[in-house]
Structure 1
Amino acid sequence: MNKVFDSAAAAVADIPDGASIAVSGFGITHSFPSTLIVALRDHGAKGLEVFCNGLGASGHPTAQILAENHQISRLVASFSARPGPITPAEEQILAGEIEFEVVPQGTLVERMRAGGAGIPAFYTPVGVGTAVAEDKPMGEFDGSAYVLERGITTDYALLRAHRADRAGNLQFRGGSRNFNDSFAKAARVAIVEVDEIVEVGELRPDDIDLPGVWVSRIVRSTVRVDPAKLPRKAERGGDSRREYAGKPALSRAEIGRRAAAEIPDGGIVNLGAGLPNQIATWIGGRGVTLHAENGILGYGGFVDIDSADPDLHDAGGNFIDLHDGASFFDSVSSFEIARGKRLDAVVLGAYQVDAAGDLANWAQPGRPGGGIGGAMDLAVGARSVIITMEHVDSRGRPKLVERAEYPITAPGCVDLIVTDLALLRRDRESADGGFVLEEIAAGFTVDEVLEMTDMTVRVPRAPRVMQENW
């Protein structure tokens, strides 16, 4: 059987108006099936129901161009909004042109996996106590609450792999496998673009990551994204620090250094994007294994764009190198690691944390939907949840509050908070399960820290100094 099509245009030519389509791709530009997306845009099918992690960045050959061309009527994704300018998709969501359903990343791939396996629904702990669970059936097992999620099947899937043979057997490369497996299995017609097409038999059985039984059509990639041209968010450097009343707080690097001291030697850890990545600098030589939601275990430090391998990146889009023993897998397996309690710790940023340990880090007022990503799965699955953040937001408002006002990521999940002014540890053995102010930054008093804290906390007689506990 020869599944190779001469062009991407021919491969998508029968996609009708109103079709449901799963589109792979990770972050804002990584691993999108750009050749097929451009062909679908040019084909012009309208009223599409699109399933994806996120539509990606504007100005690049990502699924965002389908929104720019007003081809989407319904979007099911983990990201609809990211920091920065409002995208065409967000504008259309606000205008009611696109119906939007936000889905946690791990739930999305599991719903696809279930649909492809003929499983109509399953229960998950992810989303309990959040907006994601609204109007969905609930169940209780062994004393814990779970949300019922429906399996997903689609008419088509647009995917990307490294290599394929003419029978549709696929080989992926690096961290680019992510959603492709589950999306292919859920689709009636899976269309895959690849860097190289070989004859049947040239791929060894051990090299085949996804058998051709799930693949209908193959095309060669002709539209590629140059890593050097990928949009890079301007990150504040590790030396960046705020001042409060003229006194310097901990720098971003110092927040990471103090939080890193709480990571267990030999632990398996997931680092969220942004400030949590500062921890990576301080865990060398301690046997810590880093986990990324896009399907990597055992990556190392960050590399410059000039020497970047486009298929080696973490879930935040940072290009990375690998440690000996590193492994790649799909996002279904990645979230099995998370929900299956294999992570010793996850380190996340936050908009707010409240006195009950509720975490809010995925949505802000005024933006449609938000960006859950893998945070909900990680927060309910890790053995320990550590939050790193600045003590107040950019407008000087406390981020530690009595009751969170922003949408909740996971209730009661936070164990430790490390800010640029303090370290607070949750006392789960106490009656109220509240936080204890264990340490404060050098040069600050307890009263000064509490003035910028809108959360009831317990204060020991003599809190320690953060810089003395690296």
Structure 2
Amino acid sequence: MDKVVSSAAQAVRDVPDGASILFGGFGVVQGWPNSLLLALRDRGARDLTVIFNTPGVGPLSAQLLAEAGLIRKVIASFAAYPTRPTPLEDQIKAGKVALLELVPQGTLAERVRAGGAGIPAFYTPTGVGTPVADGKEHRTFGGCEYILETALRADYAFIRAHRGDRHGNLVYRRGGRNLHPAFATGARITLAEVDEVVNTGELDPECIVTPGIYVDRVVRTEHPLAVEEIRALSRRFGRAIHVEPRPDLGGLPPDLMARRAALLLRDGEYVNLGLGLPTLLSNYITGERDVILHSENGMLGFGPLAEEGQEDVDLYNASGQLVSMLPGASFFDSVAAHGMARGGRLSTVVLGAFQVSAQGDLANWNVPESGKGGIGGAMDLASGGARVLVVTYHTTRRFQPKLLRRCTYPLTALRCVKEIVTDLAYITVEPEGFVLWELAPGVSLERVKELTDAPLAVAPGVREMQFG
């Protein structure tokens, strides 16, 4: 049994017009099956239904299928980016591409896993009380509310792995595992692009993650990316490592916001850092702290952002930033990563926010007036009962308050936020509403109250923020 094919073009030879295709990966430039994508574009199969976490950005992402006009329908966790227009977003807005569903990232992984396992549907707490739950069956188990989600399957799956043998067995490398193993199971025909093809028997059977029974064709990548190239593409198309400061309010810069939030983490915690400002916390959790960081792409035990020249392209966080690895680290897929969150294994989740209500409701995935939004993993992360710590600017760039009596944006989760660090203040969410405990240096109480659109109680002995 030899599943290795001679080229990516040979691997995609029978993909017809109208096919549905799962694309594994987290969306980072180095994680796409780029040779298969390029071959599919050159083949010209049209009216495709594509299913992925995100279409990504840049020349070696699923955007190249949109540029060629090959996509008809999309199911995704992210379809548009807040700060960068893309060909796919333009086509969705123009009505040329139908956005069938925006799906929470963990739910997307679980729906595909269920499809591959022959399970037609399942109940999940993710999305309860949000637009994701609209029109879906609700059930109560053990006093908690759940919604019914149906399985997803496709005609083809395009995935990326580190090594593959001639039987189709696959191994992955570090954070590069993410959605690929689940997506490998969810299609009628699975194509695997690998960095290295080895002979049958050369892979340690104990280390095989995707057994060959799920893989139909294996092709060695035809477009390997050097570290320098990945660095350059990440700077051009990825999320920036340094978040832009907001000097307009006279509050904290991002590094001090992250430093203050990091001090709120407790020894012995497993902590998820969501994308954006929260990812900066990893730089301020010192070695003597007994805190283990979790990322939804499938890592436990990562550390600060990697120094230039020390990067490992398969070690990246939720924002796609290259990070360091600490002793005791472990790697797993996105199904397990989100299962840890929903199952209550995480004690704290640090997230960004567009809005937080005085009841602790969180809105962080959609800004209606801009038409921008992507659910990502936040709904899953907030559904398991962990303490949610929000790190965000106190207002929008137009000075609209983000802390409100009630959220006006579509919700991510109900009554989940417990603590908030902004560029102006440290605030908790109590049964009676927002309570102010600390002020950023140089910021007045009157200024914080003016920029908070909800009653703000002041704790006894309110003080200036400390950072060490």
> Do the two structures share a fold, i.e. TM-score over 0.5?
yes
Partner of 1:292: 295
Q: Which moved more, 1:456-465 or 1:338-347?
A: 456-465
Q: How far did 1:136 drift?
A: 1.2
Are the equivalent residues in 2 in contact too, given 1:342–1:382 (CA < 8 A)?
A: no
- Per-residue CA deviations over 1:53-108 (Å, capped at 9, x if unaligned) read 011103x2111111111111110011111122311111111111111110010000
Aligned to 1:136: 136
Q: How much does 1:260 deviate?
A: 1.2
Which amino acid counterpart does residue 92 of structure 1 have in structure 2?
Q
Counterpart check, 1:263 vs 2:294:
no
Residues 190 and 266 from structure 1, CA distance in 2 versus in 1: closer, same or farther, beyond 3 angstroms?
same
CA distance in 1, matches of 2:316, 2:384: 23
Match of 2:405 in 1: 402
How far apart, in 2, do the equivalents of 1:305 and 1:442 lie?
32
The residue identity in structure 2 corresponding to 1:390 is Y
Show the counterpart of 1:272. Answer: 274
Identity of aligned residues (%): 49
Who is 2:74 aligned against? 75
Query: Which residue does 2:451 correspond to in 1?
Result: 452
1:147 paired residue number: 147
- Map of 1:222-371 to 2, 5 A cutoff? 222-225=222-225, 226-232=229-235, 235=240, 237=242, 240=245, 242-244=247-249, 248-284=250-286, 285-368=288-371, 370-371=373-374
Residues 47, 236 of structure 1: alpha-carbon distance in 2 compared, 3 angstrom cutoff: closer
Structure 2: distance between partners of 1:183 and 1:241: 40
Question: Alpha-carbon deviation of 1:275?
Answer: 1.5
Could you tell me which amino acid in structure 2 is paired with residue 172 of structure 1?
Answer: Y
User: Secondary structure at the residue paired with 1:381?
Assistant: coil
Cα displacement (A) at 1:266:
2.1
Give the count of matched residue pairs: 461
Deviation of 1:440 after TM superposition, in Å, equals 1.8
Q: Residue 465 of structure 2 corresponds to which residue in structure 1?
A: 466
1:414 aligns with 2:410: no
- Tell me if structure 2 keeps the 8 A contact 1:359–1:408: yes
Q: Which amino acid aligns with 1:242?
A: P
Give the AA of the match of 1:459: V
Aligned to 2:126: 126
Q: Which amino acid aligns with 1:65?
A: L
The residue aligned with 1:90 is 89
- The equivalent of 2:212 in structure 1 is 212
CA positional deviation for 1:461? 4.4
> Are residues 234 and 43 of structure 1, via their aligned partners in 2, closer, same or farther at CA, if it must alter by over 3 Å?
closer
The match for 1:372 is: 375
1:130 positional shift: 0.8
Aligned-partner Cα distance in 2 for 1:437–1:283: 24
Structure 1, unpaired ranges of 5+: none
One-letter identity of the residue aligned with 1:168: G
Deviation at 1:354, TM superposition (A): 1.2
Q: CA deviation at 1:255?
A: 1.3
Deviation string, structure 1 residues 217-271 (Cα, Å, up to 9, x no partner): 0011002333122232574858945253xxx322222211221121011211111
Q: Which moved more, 1:444-453 or 1:287-296?
A: 444-453
Q: SS state of the match for residue 168, structure 1? A: coil
Q: Which residue of 2 aligns with 1:163?
A: 163
1:54-65, aligned counterparts within 5 Å? 54-58=54-58, 60-65=59-64
- In structure 2, do the counterparts of structure 1 residues 30 and 411 end up closer, same or farther at CA, with 3 Å as the change threshold? farther
Hey, what's the Cα distance between the residues in 2 that align with 1:448 and 1:165? 63
Q: Distance in 2 between matches of 1:363 and 1:125?
A: 20
- Aligned CA RMSD, in angstroms, stands at 1.7
1:13 and 1:208 map into 2 onto residues whose CA distance is: 27
Matched letter for residue 280 of structure 1: S
For residues 103 and 399 of structure 1, the distance between their equivalents in structure 2, rounded to whole angstroms, comes to 25
Residue by residue, what CA displacement relative to the aligned partner does 1:40-62 show, whole Å, maximum 9, x if unpaired?
Answer: 1111111111110011103x211
- Bigger drift between 276-285 and 146-155 goes to 276-285
C-alpha displacement of 1:366: 4.4
Q: Is the 8 A contact 2:284 2:304 kept in 1?
A: no
User: 1:281-328 CA distances to partner (integer Å, 9 max, x unpaired)?
Assistant: 221111111111111110111114543222111121111111111111
Q: How many angstroms does 1:458 deviate by? A: 2.0
Counterpart of 1:415 in 2: which secondary structure?
strand
In the TM superposition, what is the alpha-carbon distance from 1:381 to its structure 2 partner? 2.0
Go from structure 1 to structure 2 and tell me whether the alpha carbon gap of 1:442 and 1:148 turns closer, same or farther (over 3 Å shift). Answer: same
Give the secondary structure class of the aligned counterpart of 1:459: strand
With structure 2 as the length reference, what TM-score do the two structures score?
0.95
Alpha-carbon offset, residue 181 of structure 1: 1.0
SS in structure 1 of the partner of residue 29 of structure 2: coil
What secondary structure does 1:309 align onto? Answer: coil
Aligned to 2:442: 443
- Measure the CA separation in 1 of the matches of 2:29 and 2:242: 23
- CA separation of 1:9/1:239 partners in 2, compared to 1, >3 Å: closer, same or farther? closer
What is the TM-score of this pair, normalised by structure 1?
0.94
Secondary structure of the structure 1 residue equivalent to 2:56? coil
Letter in 2 for 1:228: R
